[in-house]
Amino acid sequence: MVSRAYWVAFKTLLRKEIRRFSRIWVQTILPPVITTALYFIIFGNLIGRQLPAIEGYRYIDYIVPGLILMSIISNAYANVVSSFYGSKFQHYVEEQLIAPIPSWVILIGYLSGGVARGLSVGAAVTLVSQVFTSLPLHNLWVVFSMALLTSILFSLGGFINAVYAQSFDDITIIPTFVLTPLTYLGGIFYSIDMLPESWRCISLGNPILYLINAFRYGFLGVSDIGLLQAYAIVLLFISVLFAYSLYLLKVGRGLKS
Amino acid sequence: MSHAIDITQLTKTYAGGHRALCGIDLHVEEGDFFALLGPNGAGKSTTIGIIASLVNMDAGRVSIFGHDLVREPMAARRQIGLVPQEFNFNMFEPVEEIVINQAGYYGLEGSAVRARCEVLLRELGLWEKRREMARNLSGGMKRRLMIARALIHAPRLLILDEPTAGVDIELRRSMWQFLREVNRQGTTIVLTTHYLEEAELLCRNIAIIDQGRIAAHTSMKALLNRLNCETLVLDLMAPIDAPPHLVGVDCGVVQVDAHTLEVTVSRGQGLSGLFAALAAAGVEVLSMRNKSNRLEELFLSLVAQGRQAQRGVGEGE
């Protein structure tokens, strides 16, 4: 009986989140699709044609998995950070705090919203990429699991950002100054084998590099790093951030006085 | 009779050092219509916030229909519906969706919830607006939306924090009627309000809180009985030059203007003697009303007494 009530509460949160980003699809779904299409045209077709193949693949084929994952990362993060901060700002998070829902159900509800948007945008970008190239599929399981785990990880990041945010400026600082540089330097546009040794070592400290390479392996079957290493890193980060998010929600950090 | 709310030695000090509650005890009986009154910053909203799990308590015990808020938080929360002071819904969601979603958070869904939502929205005059975005509603409609949302899971305890603030008198009266009916059907109601007339009209029991302490906790009737005297305003048929000398009645008379008198009479003294004395003095009364709300006078005097007592303790230390 209780678990059914929690299931209904979870479904309600997920439905609310999906409706939220679907209602404003012009702001949430369309822009990343257009931006990524521009990447395909400029870097893939116009510039990419002049470049040699990387690990046996045309440049456009090499960068498409990274661009798909980049859109998943930024949208999963953006969905949770804006939705949860909005609910704090307008106080309607109280609707959930007063209800008989455990913190973990609330957290999973918001994360699922981020995953839904991340995967929706990822799917839309993948479809658009088919206009420019015919992407091979080496291992569907790796593609799907890595997309899912990445969207969970960055939804958690967005949640923690929203908990600490005290103004709308605070929810743009991390995406602009941390997430975007790490994503661009995470090997979307190049293989780290092309970098000088010192930069290669520095790049290995970037967790996004592991995600992009594992995701690329799912499509192309090539990667700069080991697949198991990538799964271990993403699962470790998810465990730590999930536990921390749950702690923040339980003590009511930024929510309760 | 069992208690809807049982609060024992509840204490709360905010991060800045402000002591909002200094160990209050409060009991609300099941089925009651209870007023929690106090000046701004007295501790009302903190008390309500703790009951609703929106504020963390420092010490003490709160139980809702026997469910301890710390040991059985889910069971306790299931009993409560809250109408807060500030609007706290997503302004960009349609009215019906806000109410249905709230039911979902309580684990309720399906046709029964939709039917109850329709009943509530119709009773509160919001059915025609069910597909409107909440931000397009008027202030009064937004307040009624919060009432519908709080009642969707049929709570046994409804807490209303200033539910009629900024609502015009006609709407306020219709809300009173609605709340009386909700209470008549068995829901315990706790009300905070700045309109003391509202508390006097609706509530059977009352607590007055000031500076984090309970200044009075009794029935409305017992509280109003503490009044020793009341002031009546008399509108006169014909103008007078000077206040009349009234023989045989114990009262104070003040002339406000040529057509108005204020007469202060002690409690228990019949008004027939007063009117007889007025007639004997040649004064004809057109109409009569209380100078001020009786509860307001008591409220002010209790708060003043409490503060005086606190000052005395402070000086003693």
pLDDT in tens, B130-149: 999 999 999 999 999 999 99
Residues of A in contact with B157 (CB under 8 A): none
Assess whether pLDDT exceeds 50 at residue B211.
Answer: yes
Quote the minimal CA–CA distance from A61 to chain B in Å: 41
**Each residue of B261-295: b (16+ CB within 10 Å) or e?**
bebebeeeeeeeebbebbeeeebebeeeeeeeebb
Which of the four pLDDT bands, split at 50, 70 and 90, describes residue B292? low
- Look at A191-205, A238-252, B59-73, B115-129 and tell me which has the smallest mean pLDDT: A191-205
pLDDT recorded at residue A50: 86
Confidence of residue A162 (pLDDT cuts 50, 70, 90): very high
With cut-offs at 50, 70 and 90, classify the pLDDT of residue A1.
Answer: low
Contact A94 B55 (CB under 8 A): no
For chain B, give every domain's residue range. Answer: 3-225, 227-317
Which H or E run contains B7?
strand B3-13
**Global pTM exceeds 0.80:** yes
CA distance to A5, A223, B100, B145, per residue, from B118 (Å): 22, 57, 10, 12
Question: Which tens digit of pLDDT belongs to each residue from B70-79?
Answer: 999 999 999 9
Question: What are B's interface residues with A at a Cβ cutoff of 8 A?
Answer: 14-15, 49, 52-56, 73-75, 77-78, 80, 82, 84, 86-93, 97, 101-102, 104-109, 149
Q: How far is B81 from chain A (nearest CA, A)?
A: 8
ipTM: 0.89
Rg (CA), chain A: 19
Nearest to A139 by CA among A47, A73, A214, A249: A214
DSSP letters spanning B114-180: HHHHHHHHHHTT-GGGTTSBGGGS-HHHHHHHHHHHHHTT--SEEEEESTTTT--HHHHHHHHHHHH
B9-15 average pLDDT score: 95
The string over A21-51, giving b where at least 16 C-beta atoms fall within 10 Å of a residue's C-beta and e elsewhere, is: beeeeeebbeebeeebbebbeebbeeebeee
Q: Is A11 a residue whose pLDDT tops 90?
A: yes
Unique residue bearing structure tokens 């499509």: A219
Mutate to test the interface with A, among B53, B105, B149 (most CBs of A within 10 A): B105
Mean pLDDT of B21-45: 94
The pLDDT assigned to B317 comes to 42
Distance in angstroms (rounded) separating the CA atoms of residues A204 and A225: 9
Residue A100 has its nearest CB partner, among B55, B77, B91, at B77
Question: Closest residue of A to B58, CA-based?
Answer: A257
CATH value of B3-225 in 1.10.287.1080, 3.90.25.10, 3.40.920.10, 3.40.50.300:
3.40.50.300
Q: What is the DSSP letter of A47?
A: I
pLDDT of residue B315: 47
pLDDT at B306: 74
Tell me: pLDDT of A168 over 70. Answer: yes
Q: Which CATH number is associated with domain B227-317?
A: 3.30.70.1560
* pLDDT averaged over every residue in chain B: 89
C-alpha span between B56 and A251 (Å, rounded): 9
CA–CA distance, B118 with B1 (Å, rounded to integer): 33
- Average of pLDDT values for B254-281? 85
- Is A16 an interface residue toward B (CB < 8 Å)? yes
Q: Where are the domains of chain A?
A: 2-251
A-B C-beta contacts closer than 8 Å? 88
Q: Phi, psi at residue A54, to the nearest 5°?
A: -115, 125
Chain A residues touching residue B84 (CB < 8 angstroms): 91, 94
Q: Please name the residue of chain B whose CA is at the shortest distance from the CA of residue A249.
A: B54
CA within 13 Å, CB half, B169: 1
- Output the pLDDT for position B1: 54
CB contact at 8 A, B232 and B290: yes
Q: How far apart are CA B34 and CA B202, in angstroms?
A: 8
Could you tell me the pLDDT band of residue B179, with boundaries at 50, 70 and 90? very high
- Other C-beta atoms within 10 Å of B177: how many? 10
Which regions of chain A does DSSP assign to beta strands (E)? none
Q: pLDDT tens, A48-70?
A: 888 888 888 898 899 999 999 99
Write down the pLDDT at residue B6: 97
Q: Is B145 exposed, middle or buried (0-12, 13-18, 19+ CB in 10 A)?
A: buried
Measure the CA–CA gap between B307 and B301, rounded to whole angstroms: 10
When CB atoms are compared, the residue of B90, B97, B104 closest to A9 is B104
pLDDT band at A194 (very low <50, low <70, confident <90, very high): confident
Number of Cα atoms under 13 Å in the Cβ half of residue B119: 12
Q: What is the mean pLDDT of residues A71-78?
A: 96
pLDDT on residue A201: 87
pLDDT digits over A224-242, tens only? Answer: 889 999 999 999 999 999 9
pLDDT band for B59, please (50, 70, 90 cuts): very high
Alpha-carbon distances, residue B138 vs B82, B90, B169 (angstroms): 20, 15, 15
Structure tokens at A93: 């998070």
Q: Is the pLDDT of residue B186 over 50?
A: yes
User: Could you give the CA distance from residue B78 to residue B156 in angstroms, rounded to a whole number?
Assistant: 9
**pLDDT over 90 at B97, yes or no:** yes
B37: phi then psi, degrees, rounded to nearest 5: -115, 160
| Residue B248 pLDDT | 81
Contact B108 A102 (CB under 8 A): no
- Predicted local distance difference test score (pLDDT) of residue B294: 66
Does A250 reach chain B within 8 Å, measured CB to CB? no
| Nearest CB partner across the interface for B107, out of A4, A90, A94 | A4
- For position A224, what pLDDT does the model report? 86
What DSSP letter does each residue of B79-92 carry, written as one string?
A: TEEEE-SS--S-TT
Q: Are B265 and B169 within 8 A, CB to CB?
A: no
Residue B311: its pLDDT value, please?
Answer: 67
Hey, are the CB atoms on A19 and B77 less than 8 Å from each other?
no
The beta-carbon neighbor of A8 closest among B73, B93, B104 is B104
Question: Is A164 an 8 Å CB contact of chain B?
Answer: no
Across the range B167-191, mean pLDDT stands at: 92
Q: Which residue in B49, B89, B104 is closest to A12 by CB distance?
A: B104
A-chain residues within 8 Å CB-CB of B75? Answer: 100
Q: Is the pLDDT of residue A131 over 50?
A: yes
